[in-house]
Structure 1
């Protein structure tokens, strides 16, 4: 996995390889790359995973086992633009399973603490409608949701 572009580095506290395996099980279009291990020259346990490269949905990542100093926050999240409602349901359910958490407005936090925005088709169009009153009604409806319901957002937008 090399070339131009960006690679997102995710800092883990010892479970980068488990996280990569997890993401490869959730996102079907993915592949595992190189795994680098700590050597005697590093402060961590020799032979333990230092970094693991993986790619999901065309996005390159490297998981770094850097220790307990840093944690994920909602200040950074990954948007999943879904092709249809079924795909949105799949990602929402998969990412909240086994210790993940629902948040607000389609955001979820997976079991490793990484934040994702699961966006069904039509949601962004509704909240960015050229008619500011329609957009405001759709946004008001969305703000009350955890998992996005585009049909409900559309009804709210049309209610004016």
Structure 2
């Protein structure tokens, strides 16, 4: 996996990450569509994700938690707002409390994931839109960029399993 670029855009209230994988677009789509595969990369290695609910349909919801090195849990939720398999996924995303309810004071973000077929490789562009500059700055300060890079660094091993079958 090669991270092509990351960009924080304060004017557009967005964060953009572009990466490429040495796998076809259908295969890369499955790392989003299958919750068991998603669990293997969504959180950074020291904060693995567990999806408790996952309805990968427009209007569907996901509930997950990431478990830290000391056993602490950070919960989150998604609301799938659009699917155009295998090219585009959009979802709203936010933090959740211990009951899985959205934490309103953290706000929510809107993610757009676009997959582009590069003839045996796939370019994935992830754009996260924020409600405010304060929210964007808070997420960046919390380690969003580094966390995404670490999480995506786990995808190659997952994709390589198909090559060994």
Regarding TM over 0.5, the answer is no
Higher strand share: 2
Higher relative contact order (CA 8 A, sep 6+): 2
Q: TM-score, normalised by structure 1?
A: 0.25
